[in-house]
Structure 1
Amino acid sequence: MMAAMEFADVVSRRRMVRNYTDDPVDPVVVDRIVGNALRAPSAGFSQGWAFLRLDTPADVARFWAAATPLGKGSDGWSAGLRRAPVLIVPMSSKAAYLDRYAEPDKGWTDRDESRWTAPYWDIDAGMASLLMLLTVVDEGLGACFFGVPPERMADFRAAFGVPDEFRPIGVVSIGHRAPDRLSPSLRRGRRDLDAVVHRGRWDG
């Protein structure tokens, strides 16, 4: 096991990795990565998330067969991504949150979705995903968060028996880093604090 990094180093080194070697990932390490996802905050401690773990060659191949856009095979963007030996699909359950907030201690008497100012079921699953991404860096590995094309979602669900109650919010690929081309999006540069932090008032 590698020595843990300083937290600031983990944050600064986190980036999306789209190219991997064929080396396997220790299942114990995958256990830690997924286990840390359970430490994410969740509204009302609803914990309305689930994680589909695909860590065999057969399951990973089945994912790509089900999730690849129709008419496309392995292209320049996805070729390296497809070598990732582990895929984790985080999912959210809106029903778990609506049920939780209809319980007596939360003060609501119904499951009215209009009470929610934002879809916390997706937000919480996203925070769990970020904890996985940070843990991957701490383990000296690489990861990428990407989505399942909407037109392939039904095929993905059918391939893995995903219940209707759960919605996949993305996919986390995990593996050993290989030389990677930088995303063209990085040319935009990272926005600085003054551009995104508004102190006291938005126009202040």
Structure 2
Amino acid sequence: MNRYSEPDIAAVYRVIRERRDMRHFLPDPIDPALLQRLLQAAHHAPSVGYMQPWRFIRISDRSLRQQLHTQVEAERVRTAAALGERQEDFMRLKVEGILDCGEVLVAALMDGRERHIFGRRTLPEMDLASISCAIQNMWLAARAEGIGLGWVSLFDPDAVAGLLQLPTGAKAIAILCLGHVAAFYDKPMLEQENWAQRQPLATLVFENHWGDDKQP
């Protein structure tokens, strides 16, 4: 009775399967009504204690977008140095599309989160889990709309907080690149570029105790 129709169910699984972390974008603008739909999708995400910790900052100032790109590039170089023998492989990867995409949003955790205790007394990081759900909602909605989204996490949160004048206690956790794309990757880009491969599900599911891989 509560089950969706077969085509609707298939569409849900399809968008989950075909979602991609995009790095290559066309410069075409995103229709404002479409952007609003994507933000509404994010805002319908679940949140622990219904705290709704997500805040989205739309970057419409081109010079500010350039400054964010500069921050990401600096961290890209530092990350490469930290990777040791994989440094050259990493530097060959395209890790962001900040200057190329139609829209840039910064997703941040709100300030004053310490007052939200429901569901966070022993697991305070559930604020991060909640905003991640919001970003995933936006990602799936964007894929269904034919819009690419890329999550960029290569930046110094304190530096970005200063650029965006975040209040004390707030924290930027993602630079989101959204835009039209020529095509979606056939496979996740890091798999396509042989950086890593998806692990078999059977090796990640246990029963009763950690390491017991018996399947139900």
> TM-score normalised to the size of structure 1?
0.76
SS in 1 for 2:56: strand
- Residues 120 and 40 (structure 1), Cα distance of their counterparts in 2 relative to 1, 3 Å cut: same
Provide the residue aligned with 1:46 in structure 2.
51
Unaligned runs of 5+ in 1: none
Asked if 1 retains the 8 angstrom alpha-carbon contact of 2:20 and 2:184, the reply is no
What aligned pairs does 1:112-123 form with structure 2 within 5 A after superposition?
115-123=121-129
| 1:133 partnered with 2:139 | yes
Unaligned runs of 5+ in 2: 1-7, 78-91
- In the alignment, the residues of structure 1 paired with residue 75 and residue 116 of structure 2 have an alpha-carbon distance, to the nearest angstrom, of 39
Asked if 1 retains the 8 angstrom alpha-carbon contact of 2:75 and 2:155, the reply is no
Q: Structure 2 residue aligned with 1:193, among 197, 201, 204? A: 201
The alignment yields a C-alpha RMSD, in angstroms, of 3.0
Asked if 1 retains the 8 angstrom alpha-carbon contact of 2:26 and 2:100, the reply is yes
- In the alignment, the residues of structure 2 paired with residue 80 and residue 179 of structure 1 have an alpha-carbon distance, to the nearest angstrom, of 15
Q: Structure 2 residue aligned with 1:100, among 88, 110, 116? A: 116
- In the alignment, the residues of structure 2 paired with residue 55 and residue 142 of structure 1 have an alpha-carbon distance, to the nearest angstrom, of 18
How far residue 46 of structure 1 moved from its aligned partner, in angstroms, is: 1.1
| 1:69 partnered with 2:74 | yes
Provide the residue aligned with 1:146 in structure 2.
152
How far residue 54 of structure 1 moved from its aligned partner, in angstroms, is: 1.8
Q: Structure 1 residue aligned with 2:166, among 162, 165, 170? A: 162
Deviates more, 1:139-148 or 1:60-69: 60-69
- Residues 198 and 54 (structure 1), Cα distance of their counterparts in 2 relative to 1, 3 Å cut: same
SS in 2 for 1:83: coil
How far residue 81 of structure 1 moved from its aligned partner, in angstroms, is: 4.7
Q: How many residues align structurally?
A: 186
- Residues 136 and 89 (structure 1), Cα distance of their counterparts in 2 relative to 1, 3 Å cut: same
Provide the residue aligned with 1:85 in structure 2.
102
SS in 1 for 2:176: strand
- Aligned amino acid, residue 99 of structure 1: R
Asked if 2 retains the 8 angstrom alpha-carbon contact of 1:126 and 1:169, the reply is no
- Aligned amino acid, residue 164 of structure 1: T
Asked if 2 retains the 8 angstrom alpha-carbon contact of 1:18 and 1:180, the reply is no
- Residues 80 and 121 (structure 1), Cα distance of their counterparts in 2 relative to 1, 3 Å cut: closer
Asked if 2 retains the 8 angstrom alpha-carbon contact of 1:20 and 1:81, the reply is no
Asked if 2 retains the 8 angstrom alpha-carbon contact of 1:20 and 1:176, the reply is yes
Cα deviation per residue 1:101-126 (whole Å; 9 max; x = unaligned)? 2xxxx5x9xxxx8x323511111111
Provide the residue aligned with 1:183 in structure 2.
189
SS in 2 for 1:50: strand
Percent identity of paired positions between Structure 1 and Structure 2:
20
Deviates more, 1:192-201 or 1:162-171: 192-201
> TM-score normalised to the size of structure 2?
0.73
Asked if 2 retains the 8 angstrom alpha-carbon contact of 1:63 and 1:156, the reply is yes
SS in 2 for 1:6: helix
Cα deviation per residue 1:22-57 (whole Å; 9 max; x = unaligned)? 111111111111111111111111112211112454
How far residue 158 of structure 1 moved from its aligned partner, in angstroms, is: 2.5
Q: Structure 1 residue aligned with 2:32, among 3, 15, 27? A: 27
- In the alignment, the residues of structure 1 paired with residue 202 and residue 147 of structure 2 have an alpha-carbon distance, to the nearest angstrom, of 32
